[in-house]
Amino acid sequence: MASTPSALVLGAGIMGLSVAWGLARRGFAVRVVEQDAVPNPRGASVDHHRLIRHAYGAQAGYMRMVDPAYAAWDQVWRDINEVLHIPTGVLAVSGSASGWLGESRATLAADGLAFTDLTAAEVAARFPIFTEAGIGAAFHMDAGGVLLAERIVAALARHLAARGVVFERARAVAVDAARASLRLADGGERSADQLVVAAGPWAPRLLPGALAPRVVASRQILVLLEPPAQHREAWSRAPMLLDLAEDGGFYAVPPVAGTPLKIGDHRFSRTGDPEADSRDATPAEAEEILAFARPRLRDMAGYRVIGARACYYDVEDRERFVVEPIAPRCLVMSGFTGHGFKFAPVLGLAVAAALADPAVLSGLPAWAAGESRPAPGLLAALESLAA
């Protein structure tokens, strides 16, 4: 009788948990090594929300990965017995019809995905919480929404523990990819048939040869707001806002399911140390984001700043995910930049399929990098797993 295959996963952010989920569903015995508590407020996966949307500039590969991502989330909801996604739709605005907004329109239209163009006046009339200042082009899409990130991480970890996945709180100080093993800070060693390193913004330092300088940690700032009383009802029905500007722009996540309104930055700082640095944002860092939002949010003076914090993620230069074998029994998942969360379950299912079948593995890196459609083996694996 064949013995149960085993897997070791480093990191219990959404990527590590998702790959553990995919592997457990395939019958692997899985151990997850995580240095912090789960959910980990120092990790890239944890605050109230993350967005899922099809608009992806010219990156057709990631746009096409969104429907499979939704199918994988549906499987997560079935497994955790709870739906932690709030549909909101998407409003994208920009100073001009070129650039990211224009590329998104063209890429969406080429694949027949539905959106509605809006003039500046139509934006302000339909969503009076926003001004029409400086809007040269805009569109609205019904599809898209908010994933309740912290609650998802907590629920998935609970589900996995109940399913027999072992969680070990320990810090890995070295990765031996060839032996699929981790050396722990207390001198212990853990190994398995397969090792997956999903260490978020800590990964480039842990695997400098495989990742640096391709992937760097990046400190990003978020500001939490409470809308003024007269706009609260409109915000409860508001779409996510993607406000693109030449010099960066900002995004706004509506205050859904008891969460605060959140605004953040489209630019990457490409600086900072996720291990050493504080997660408190300085007043100057918060002000940079508020300055982007001020012209767009009507009656901005009436918004109360609840708080501001820093978060780290792992930026790949072209925002392409790095999901690659670095040794015959070791695979790394990195470079998720500011857009990986929505794809975690579909990537987790894909990695699990690839570790069980070398034919699937060969097409995985290019698909995960948004550069190709899934190879037939991967497609079949995703369809059967999410069925």
Ligand X SMILES: Cc1cc2nc3c(=O)[nH]c(=O)nc-3n(C[C@H](O)[C@H](O)[C@H](O)COP(=O)(O)OP(=O)(O)OC[C@H]3O[C@@H](n4cnc5c(N)ncnc54)[C@H](O)[C@@H]3O)c2cc1C
- Does position 368 interact with ligand X (CB under 6 A)? The reply is no
Separation between Cα atoms, residue 221 and residue 286, nearest integer Å: 7
Name the token pair of 119: 């003039």
- Does position 260 interact with ligand X (CB under 6 A)? The reply is no
Span near ligand X by CB under 6 A; candidates 5-13, 21-29, 137-145, 187-195:
5-13
Span near ligand X by CB under 6 A; candidates 40-48, 130-138, 288-296, 298-306:
40-48
Size of the site for ligand X (CB under 6 A): 36
- Does position 129 interact with ligand X (CB under 6 A)? The reply is no
Among 26, 31, 48, 50, binds ligand X (CB under 6 A): 50
- Does position 216 interact with ligand X (CB under 6 A)? The reply is no
- Does position 336 interact with ligand X (CB under 6 A)? The reply is yes
- Does position 347 interact with ligand X (CB under 6 A)? The reply is no
Among 21, 62, 250, 341, binds ligand X (CB under 6 A): 341
Residues 102-121 that bind ligand X (CB under 6 A): none
| Nearest-approach distance from CB 337 to ligand X, in angstroms | 6
- Does position 80 interact with ligand X (CB under 6 A)? The reply is no
Span near ligand X by CB under 6 A; candidates 113-121, 157-165, 201-209, 281-289:
201-209
- Does position 33 interact with ligand X (CB under 6 A)? The reply is yes
Span near ligand X by CB under 6 A; candidates 21-29, 70-78, 333-341, 360-368:
333-341
Cβ-based neighbour number of residue 278 at 10 Å = 9
- Does position 90 interact with ligand X (CB under 6 A)? The reply is no
* In the complex, residue closest to ligand X by CB: 13
- Does position 62 interact with ligand X (CB under 6 A)? The reply is no
- Does position 172 interact with ligand X (CB under 6 A)? The reply is yes
- Does position 244 interact with ligand X (CB under 6 A)? The reply is no
- Does position 330 interact with ligand X (CB under 6 A)? The reply is no
- Does position 145 interact with ligand X (CB under 6 A)? The reply is no
- Does position 34 interact with ligand X (CB under 6 A)? The reply is yes
- Does position 315 interact with ligand X (CB under 6 A)? The reply is no
333 phi and psi angles, rounded to 5 deg? -120, 115
Contacts with ligand X, residue ranges (CB under 6 A): 10-16, 33-36, 40, 43-45, 50-51, 171-172, 198-202, 206, 220, 222, 264, 311, 313, 336, 338-342
